[in-house]
Copies of this chain bind each other. A is one copy, B any other.
Amino acid sequence: MVQLLSQYTFHIVIAAAIAAILYALYLVTQIVKQPRGTDAMIAIADAIHEGAVAYLRRQYSVVAGIAVVLFAIITWLLGMHVAAGFLVGAVTSAIAGIVGMYVSVNANVRVAESANKGLSAAFKLSFQGGAVTGLLVAGLALLATVTTFLVARQNLSLPQTLTTLIGLGFGGSLISVFARLGGGIFTKAADVGTDMVGKIEQGIPEDDPRNPGVIADQVGDNVGDCAGMAADLFETYIVTTVAAMLLGTLTGKGEVAFIFPLLLGAVALVATIIGTLFVKLPRSGSIMGALYRGLAATVVMSAVLLYPITQLYLGMSQFFAIVIGFGVALAMVGLTEFFTSKKFSSIKNLAIASQTGHATNIIAGLALSLRSTFPAILVIGVGILLAYQVGGLYAVAIAATAMLSLTGIVVAIDAFGPITDNAGGIAEMANLPEKTRKVTDALDAVGNTTKAVTKAYAIASAGLAALVLFASYTQELGESSPISFSLADPSVLVGLFIGGALPYLFASMALESVGRAAVTVANEIRRQFKEIKGIMKGTERPDYKRCVDLVTQAALKEMIVPALLPVLVPIIVAFTLGAQALGGLLIGTIVTGLFVALSMTTGGAAWDNAKKYIEEGHFGGKGSFAHQAAVTGDTVGDPYKDTAGPAINPMIKVANIVALLIAPLLA
């Protein structure tokens, strides 16, 4: 049985990946069949589409330049096969991002149109949009990994195959850190800059078509939340699978080391396809309930299918590791909901603090963001310990892989958020009736929570994936000579300090980038309001495209230095302070990275939802003093949750993969 299964494993994996991709493409045909609405809506959607494509084209041109340089360096230092892996990872990661953006810009206007027919139709369509991205991300990631592995295995030695896979992970992560950061800076700079002049100075509502920055703001949702998130989870998926393969090989699991993680991914992907079919609006109309049903169905089905397979290959203990991985994923979802959903006390207390002003709102939000890390870190810690107890270091890798195998459904749940956000913007700009806006608003509100939930999932996954990478680094170095990374060794300690400082520096740079880019776009919007006289009367069209161009330039300029930090600092530390210090650096980055990223994404979402809670009519509702304070909190939270926080995920992994790549040079 094992042999029979093993013989066809790779066929099964490839088939599952292709099935997911084909099903996603089928969904695309269903989506594009839907009507795009009035001419006004189509014109807006086209402008958004055009802006998003233009941004991504330029982003990837810049990144391609950097990738070419790295490709040459990798070829020279580590060999052609690693460089080839790097290239595949980089290209497929870029494809994942482009797909995320493409689906979103095509679905948004159709969701707006379908919202005329009511919540049920709009929800169905927007979730289909999300499902396309989710299935394509997971399917492509699995396909890229399995084909790279097969090609490498047939032509190269085992160690070379492993380094090719590490190259694959590096390519994916590097692109992802640029996508997350560039997209994150774009989306928040456009958002803040547009609101600053439109809402505050000119007193016109959000998404008002008279605002020259309004298209840039919508473009931002697509390139940040969609393309960025897709590239991020794409690379986490690949990196985790590769790390599990690597650790399995280094700890002597033989061929199973390659077979099992891929099979796990394939099974979960099939379960995900079925799981998406469970997402249907219940009679109660609970959107969140519908989404969680899909998640629950996927988890249960995956577990049932994986039970016999795991028994066959690895035994009962590693099945527990899978359950632990699923458990951590679900616990992260629950915890984030607790801290960011309007149903619970945290948000209410934040709203109460807004009554006494801007400063008390900020202090309460900061306290919430700091506190939210504690239970999350406990969950991750308990997960690691339990997994280790049941099956050693390898079980930690399996738990991480299991957690990541839910990528498809998680991205599906997440990606529907920005689609509905965009649909709402289009509805507003095209002056659709109040009833329609209510539908898109309801979807958008849920989208906010799912975005926060997914980010916490992504961070926890990134942390686990990075730990598995670190374990591989330890094993790799240990092959030639035993290595301890003792905390009593001052190099390790200093590495820990420097590594710990990286997320702080990175986050600081990201926050400042948003500030600078926002000022650039705000100045342009002010200029247009002043020079194009007919804008406010609605007789002249603002120059949307110029705003998009300016944010694009600013975001691309700002993303380069911070994105290169996790590549350069580990190399510098490795060759000045040595392999022990590098080990400390990796763990330092993981530890503070988890705290900074978790606190920022949770805090940001909490501020956002506290504002929404007040807007529902509590504590004076819209326009009240409490509301003004809550808007301040929301604005502070924006770059927290959408730029700095999420970009830390790929950053942590890039640092760890760079260490793995240079490990042979250090040993």
Contact = CB atoms under 8 A, between A and B. Distances in A.
A1 interface: no
A555 interface: no
Interface stretch (A62-70, A362-370, A541-549): A362-370
Interface string A630-667: 01110110010000000000000000000000000000
Nearest to A587: B487
Interface stretch (A99-107, A217-225, A381-389, A400-408): A381-389
6 closest A-B pairs by beta carbon, nearest first, are A359-B635, A371-B508, A370-B508, A485-B487, A367-B511, A381-B494
B359 A632 contact: yes
A488 interface: yes
A449 interface: no
Interface string A574-596: 00010000011001100110111
Contact of A632 (B358, B522, B631): B358
Contacts of A491: 385
A4 interface: no
21 contacts: A196-B357, A357-B632, A358-B358, A363-B514, A363-B635, A364-B515, A367-B509, A370-B504, A373-B504, A381-B498, A385-B494, A396-B490, A474-B488, A484-B484, A484-B488, A487-B583, A496-B587, A500-B592, A500-B595, A588-B591, A591-B592
A599 interface: yes
A493 B632 contact: no
Tallying the copies of this chain within the complex gives 2
Which of A358, A374, A632 has the largest number of chain B CB atoms within 10 A? A358
A122 interface: no
A356 interface: yes
Interface string A53-72: 00000000000000000000
Contacts of A471: 488
Given A388-B490, A484-B484, A583-B487, A496 B591 contact: yes
Interface in A324-383: 353, 356-360, 362-364, 366-368, 370-371, 373-374, 377-378, 380-382
Interface in A441-499: 467, 470-471, 474, 484-488, 490-494, 496-498
A545 to B, nearest CB: 25
Contacts of A505: 370-371, 373-374
Contacts of A519: 356
Contacts of A2: none
Given A370-B505, A484-B486, A636-B362, A493 B511 contact: no
Contact of A504 (B374, B496, B497): B374
Contacts of A385: 490-491, 494, 577
Number of chain A interface residues as a range? 35 or more
Contacts of A18: none
B599 A504 contact: yes
B500 A377 contact: yes
A512 interface: yes
A518 to B, nearest CB: 8
A384 B507 contact: no
Interface string A591-620: 110111001000000000000000000000
Interface string A514-525: 110011001000
B508 A493 contact: no
A501 interface: yes
Given A196-B356, A358-B632, A595-B501, A363 B511 contact: yes
A393 interface: yes
A200 interface: yes
B498 A367 contact: no
A381 B497 contact: yes
Nearest to A382: B494
A393 B490 contact: yes
A515 B357 CA distance: 12
Nearest to A195: B359
Given A591-B500, A595-B504, A493 B374 contact: no
A486 B483 CA distance: 9
Contacts of A632: 357-359, 362, 632
Contact of A512 (B192, B367, B467): B367
